[in-house]
Amino acid sequence: MTSSTPFAAATLAGALILAPPVASARDYDAGTLHIGDPWIRATPNAAPTAAGYLTVTNHGKTADRLLGGASPLARAIEPHTMSMTGGVMRMRLAEGGSEIAPGATLALAPGGDHLMLIGPKRPFKPGERVPATLRFARAGAVKVEFVVRTGPRPGEMSMPGIGAH
């Protein structure tokens, strides 16, 4: 072929990389667990926490638990659960982690259970990726990348001093 081929290939590769208008997260497999679409809600300046969401499907025969995780961009990652107390949704630490029963999918989504990134080192901007290591009771440590999005914001859900998630 002529010398124009490498140029054409490079142009095509560039177009493919630049094409997606919205940052999408990838999925991950860890043993019998399938982790889908990890994302974090974009945070304003000086936000003390950020909420992370994903799904975990357990294709195995034994229950596992999502215990939390770590990220170089936050002080800690905790599993949080939501509950209704006196007509107000509140979140608290999921003691012992969030269970993923055999054959079940744990769905962490806005308005419900979530991962809480405590003490973000800086604001998370839409489109950027936040590396993290999730920790499971059985599957162990699993490296993922959360994609930062604006996402839907649920109604009034609060924890004193922390704000909406």
From its phi and psi, is residue 119 left (phi > 0), alpha (psi between -120 and 50) or beta?
left
| Minimum distance, C-beta of residue 1 to Cu ion, in the bound complex (Å) | 56
Between CA 165 and CA 162 the distance in angstroms is 9
Residue 154 burial class via C-beta count within 10 angstroms: exposed 0-12, middle 13-18, buried 19 and up: middle
Establish if 80 lies at the interface with Cu ion (CB under 5 A).
yes
Q: Among residues 41 and 80, whose Cβ is nearest to Cu ion?
A: 80
Q: Which amino acid belongs to residue 46?
A: A
3-state secondary structure of 130: strand
Q: Which of 89, 116, 134, 147 contacts Cu ion by CB under 5 A?
A: 116
CB of 71 to Cu ion, least distance (A): 15
Q: Which is nearer to Cu ion, 57 or 98 (CB)?
A: 98
CA distance linking residue 117 with residue 51, whole number of Å? 6
- Give the one residue of 33, 74, 77, 91 binding Cu ion; rule: CB under 5 A: 91
Query: Least distance in Å: CB of 93 to Cu ion?
Result: 8
The number of residues that bind Cu ion (CB under 5 A) is 3
